[in-house]
Amino acid sequence: MAYELMNLKAEELAERLGTCEPGSTTHTQIMAEIQRRQLFAQYEANEVLRRAALAEEQAAKASEIAATAAVQNTKYMLWAATAAAASAAISLAARIIALAARW
């Protein structure tokens, strides 16, 4: 009977539980099956939570890598802007010198 209970749907299990005497062998077997299913569901839930925690950890690592890359890109942009400003200043100075030479 115990193996038969494993194949029943939850509704069928509840119906059988309602028709048996409390404390009987059948009642005890049905309650054991219900507890087995609860434990299995808890185990599955714990496994899902463990996988979610691992995924969160990986996401945090990826965010850290992205933040490091963003900082590096910002430094490169600062140097590029500085080089562009220096180039513009040199071009301006050359233009001023060229204009001053014409006077």
Q: pLDDT category, 43, cuts 50, 70, 90?
A: very high
C-beta separation of 30 from 17 below 8 A: yes
Give yes or no for a contact between 9 and 33, defined as CB atoms under 8 angstroms apart.
Answer: no
> Is the pLDDT score of 29 beyond 90?
yes
Using alpha carbons, select from 30, 24, 29 the residue that is nearest to residue 11: 30
Among 49, 8, 1, residue whose Cα is nearest residue 27 = 1
The Cα 86–Cα 60 span in angstroms is 39
| Bigger pLDDT: 45 vs 4 | 45
- pTM as predicted: 0.58
